[in-house]
Amino acid sequence: DSGVTQTPKHLITATGQRVTLRCSPRSGDLSVYWYQQSLDQGLQFLIQYYNGEERAKGNILERFSAQQFPDLHSELNLSSLELGDSALYFCASSLGQDSYEQYFGPGTRLTVT
Amino acid sequence: GEDVEQSLFLSVREGDSSVINCTYTDSSSTYLYWYKQEPGAGLQLLTYIFSNMDMKQDQRLTVLLNKKDKHLSLRIADTQTGDSAIYFCAERDNYGQNFVFGPGTRLSVLP
């Protein structure tokens, strides 16, 4: 158990809808990272937040957004969902903004029908 | 841009050594990582190596880094059935802002 929690575990929704994925980092960690894992794209870095501020941006679509709250939990919002958004979404956390170790949560499996 | 390559599949017999290989393109990578993903689970950090090191050993795991060839390998000694998983190689850029993962190598351990 990495100490990173993600909810929900599974999510099934229809195209065009909007969903919110939630992540709680390990106790004491200030950075949260979001990743998308799909069969065709592999594991892709989406975005990083550090202590409430956006720190780095990867291959995140404009339809997706994220935020980190004062209690350090983070939410990833996915809107106007398409079939191709079906994937595993992982959250990871680390102590600092440039920490070399990241700890991953169990993931949220999103299925768009 | 940055790219990390791995072979997709590896099969070994229980008790043999496994060697999983990875190549990367970003010569400014500061840290290189190995993660393990078991079915239905998240990624578990196995080990990492700084770019100024050649080798790191941790129990049954040995990481070798050839910086000149941008080649990283993970050796698992005395491979067990519990080692069956997907192993991801990853690099972190010099600015510490991005992790780039390889496609993963699916290791199958045969009895």
Q: Summarize pLDDT for A35-63 with one digit per residue, the tens.
A: 999 988 888 989 999 999 999 888 899 99
pLDDT at B20: 98
Confidence of residue B92 (pLDDT cuts 50, 70, 90): confident
Chain B CB contacts of A55 under 8 Å are 97
Say if the Cβ atoms of A2 and B44 lie within 8 Å: yes
Nearest by CB to residue B48, choosing from A44, A100, A106, is A100
> pLDDT at residue B95 above 70?
no
Q: What is the CA radius of gyration of chain B?
A: 13
**CA separation for the pair B88, B8 (Å, rounded):** 10
Please tell me if residue A42 touches chain B, with a CB cutoff of 8 Å. yes
The residues of B whose Cβ lies within 8 A of any Cβ of A are 30-31, 35, 41-45, 48, 88, 92, 96-104
List, in sequence order, every residue forming a beta bridge with B88; answer none if it has no partner. Answer: B35
**How high is the pLDDT of residue B1?**
58
The dihedral through the CA atoms of B86, B83, B6, A57 has a sign that is positive
What is the C-alpha R_g of chain A?
A: 13
pLDDT of residue A102: 86
Q: Is the pLDDT of residue B50 over 70?
A: yes
The residue count for chain B: 111
Q: What is d(CA A45, CA A35) in angstroms, rounded to the nearest whole number?
A: 5
A1 versus A86: the higher-pLDDT residue is: A86
The pLDDT of B5-33, averaged and rounded, is 91
What are the chain B neighbours of A43 within 8 Å (beta carbons)?
43, 88, 101, 104
Contact predicate A80/A72, CB 8 Å: no
Place of tokens 């404009």: A62
Average pLDDT over residues A2-25: 96
* CB proximity under 8 Å: A 77-96 to B: 90, 92
- Whether B30 has a pLDDT exceeding 80, the answer reads no
